[in-house]
Amino acid sequence: MASCNILCSVKPQIDSFKKSCFSQSWSSRPHGSSYFNNNFQFRRSSFVIVKASDSKTSKKQVEITYNPEEKFNKLADEVDMEAGLSRLTLFSPCKINVFLRITSKRDDGYHDLASLFHVISLGDKIKFSLSPSKSKDRLSTNVAGVPLDESNLIIKALNLYRKKTGTDNYFWIHLDKKVPTGAGLGGGSSNAATTLWAANQFSGCVATEKELQEWSGEIGSDIPFFFSHGAAYCTGRGEVCFYLAFCFQMSYSFQLCMRFCGYPCISLGL
């Protein structure tokens, strides 16, 4: 989860990356795995860097990098197929609203909306490592002012995953932040979806992708979208997604306003 162009579409079914665990299809979900093949034609994603390795043996387990010139992903030459997953690096793309219509105000204070969400090439990179701690996650980032406590959606996602699955993995996470906070691009929501997908990989995929998507709506309205193929028509608070079978091949120029302007502030007058 973890996507037009986001991340790879597949997920292993057990806690080690083995050939039989991978699908041959690609999508725009916050994923980082693939069926083992030397030349994978990329259907939707156009930028992926996914790495996993074993900290005990220092052997490479999975390393997939996207080559934009040759249009396919390459596996590292040296891959230890039996190595246990201990580190994982994933790309976490943001999204734009191609259009947004507020349809009504709800009794719970939220707004019903109708919008077309679409991922773009701007995104963060998140590094996950298993922590020896059984009581606390540790989050770091390259940007000052980003909360590192339980108010951060990454930590919320990990707490939610442990609550739902009963697993006890804790993590060291480093967030390489590129998406401006409070920009309305869903950067935090994407981080949460990517984190849920990563936690599931470390735990042997004990949850289905559908379950991850359903659970994610408990901590953020537009997090479920990031389990899509990169484009979806969204209603409700944004959590009801009707996936589109294609991504738009468009090129636009955007001007980012670096001033924080969160959705709660914007929606007060609606």
Give which of 47, 42, 160 is closest to 93, Cα–Cα.
Answer: 47
If DSSP codes are grouped into helix, strand and coil, which group holds residue 134?
A: coil
Residues with Cβ within 8 Å of residue 127, at least 6 apart in sequence = 87, 88, 89, 173, 174, 176
Reading the block at residue 205, the tokens are 């995929």
The position carrying tokens 């939707």 is: 44
Reading the block at residue 32, the tokens are 């980082």
Cα–Cα dist 3/91, whole Å: 9
CB distance 126 to 92 below 8 Å: yes
If DSSP codes are grouped into helix, strand and coil, which group holds residue 155?
A: helix
Reading the block at residue 252, the tokens are 């636009």
Give which of 27, 192, 47 is closest to 122, Cα–Cα.
Answer: 47
Cα–Cα dist 220/92, whole Å: 16
The position carrying tokens 């690096």 is: 89
Burial class (CB in 10 A: 0-12, 13-18, 19+), 15: middle
Amino acid at 248: F
Residues belonging to the active site: 95, 222
- Could you tell me how far CA 76 lies from the centroid of its own chain? 22
Reading the block at residue 77, the tokens are 């030459």
